[in-house]
Each structure stands twice: as C-alpha cells, then as structure tokens.
Chain A
Amino acid sequence: DAGVIQSPRHEVTEMGQEVTLRCKPISGHDYLFWYRQTMMRGLELLIYFNNNVPIDDSGMPEDRFSAKMPNASFSTLKIQPSEPRDSAVYFCASRYRQGGEKLFFGSGTQLSVL
C-alpha cells in the first residue's frame, strides 16, 4: 500500500497567489481529513469528508480556504488569496471507519507564503 500521498511536498508562493494542495487517500478509506500544523497552534483540524461529502468544515479559518473531494481517491485544499499567516505544514489523513479510528497521515505539504 502506497499510503496517503500528498503533493507538492514544498510550496513557496507570494502573498495574493492561489495555492492548491492535493491529497490521495489510501484506497478503500472512507474518511479524509485536512489538518494544519504550526508551532503556535499545533495540529488543527480544518475539514473532514465522509464518502466524499464534507461533514465538518468549522475549522476552516476563512472564506479564503476551500476544500473539495470530487471522488474517493482525490481531494484538494485551496487557498485564494494566500497570506503569510497561512504558512504552515498541511497534512492530509485518511481512515477506514470499519477498521477502527486509526488515522494514516500523508507526508505533508510545507507551505511558505512570502
């Protein structure tokens, strides 16, 4: 199993630009989560999906953030326009409900907004 795959690993962009982060969950997993990690706040849950449907997006900080899951094998997190305070590591994680509640994390995307 390839695990959860995220791309890109690193993203450097300028303030005001659009940023798109990508995630491929583990095949067969029916839950997908987006987390943001910073030194100040730790790991924050942004949004999660069940069977491609957004369940809870209360952690999305602003309207500049949006997430989609068009099918079971792909999700995106978009920031438009990006700001320096969005700089963080963004993790995608997936889980199979019938397999317990263990989360499998991707390697993360290190985002730097200049």
Chain B
Amino acid sequence: QQPVQSPQAVILREGEDAVINCSSSKALYSVHWYRQKHGEAPVFLMILLKGGEQKGHEKISASFNEKKQQSSLYLTASQLSYSGTYFCGTARAGGGADGLTFGKGTHLIIQP
C-alpha cells in the first residue's frame, strides 16, 4: 500500500518553513525520507523507527507517530539547495527484511 504524501507541491521563498506529511493505512515499522533533485538519484535524509522519536539534521527534522501511521518532515529557514522532490518510504518489517514502499513525492521549489 503506497503511503500518501501531502502537499503534492509547495513553493516557498528562501528562509520560509515547510512541512511535508506522509501517512499510511498500514501499521509501520519505520519511515524513511529521501530527496531527489531533477535528473538525479534519490538521496537518503533520515530514518525514523517506531517509538515516536524525532530526528533532525541542521534545519531538517522529522517526526513519526506510529499510532497514527503518520510522519512529517520539517524544513526550517529553507535554503535554495532544499529544492527538489521529497519522498517518504515506509517499511512494515524491521531488520532490513522489507523493501521500501514510496509515496508519489512532494515537489518543493525554493525561490530567492
């Protein structure tokens, strides 16, 4: 079951904040976030395991609510380099024994 991402697209000015949401109808073990720039391969951002932890790297952080099967990616004070398509990927089993199912992506455009 493919997770649902929202919004489909967002346009921001440099310095503004953005939130990207990912939800699943199935119980999840983990949620993964990747960013893909045009014409390139997806690149790993972070993994969140069930337990509701929040992870962060500089101005990009994420949370995971396992009860609601939802995850959100937070981009604070966005930079031009944040532009791209963000994908959430979900796994229903842990230990690396499951392939990721990705959402359709959220297109993020950062304008100067």
Which one, B30, B42, B47, contacts A105 given CB within 8 A?
Answer: B42
Shortest Cβ gap from B95 to chain A (Å): 7
Shortest Cβ gap from A104 to chain B (Å): 8
A61 contacts B by Cβ under 8 Å: no
Q: Which residues of B contact A106 (CB under 8 A)?
A: 41
A45 contacts B by Cβ under 8 Å: yes
Does B47 lie within 8 Å of A91, measured CB to CB?
no
Shortest Cβ gap from A14 to chain B (Å): 24
> B66-94 vs A: 1/0 string, CB under 8 Å?
00000000000000000000010101000
B2 contacts A by Cβ under 8 Å: yes
Shortest Cβ gap from B23 to chain A (Å): 15
Query: How far apart are the CA atoms of A4 and B30 in the complex, in Å?
Result: 24
Does B40 lie within 8 Å of A107, measured CB to CB?
yes
Does B42 lie within 8 Å of A43, measured CB to CB?
yes
Query: How far apart are the CA atoms of A103 and B95 in the complex, in Å?
Result: 13
Q: Which residues of A contact B100 (CB under 8 A)?
A: 33, 45, 101, 103
Q: Which residues of B contact A101 (CB under 8 A)?
A: 30, 32, 47, 91, 96, 100
- Which of the listed residues A33, A45, A59, A95 has the most CB atoms from chain B within 10 Å of its own CB? A45
Which chain B residues in 41-56 approach chain A with CB under 8 Å? 41-44, 47
- Which of the listed residues B30, B87, B100 has the most CB atoms from chain A within 10 Å of its own CB? B100
Shortest Cβ gap from B35 to chain A (Å): 11
Which chain B residues in 19-42 approach chain A with CB under 8 Å? 30, 32, 34, 40-42
Q: Which residues of A contact B95 (CB under 8 A)?
A: 97
Q: Which residues of B contact A (CB under 8 A)?
A: 2, 30, 32, 34, 40-44, 47, 87, 89, 91, 95-97, 99-105
User: What are the nearest 5 A-B pairs in CB distance?
Assistant: A42-B104, A105-B41, A97-B96, A43-B102, A45-B99
Q: Which residues of A contact B (CB under 8 A)?
A: 31, 33, 35, 41-45, 48, 50, 55-56, 59, 91, 95, 97, 100-108
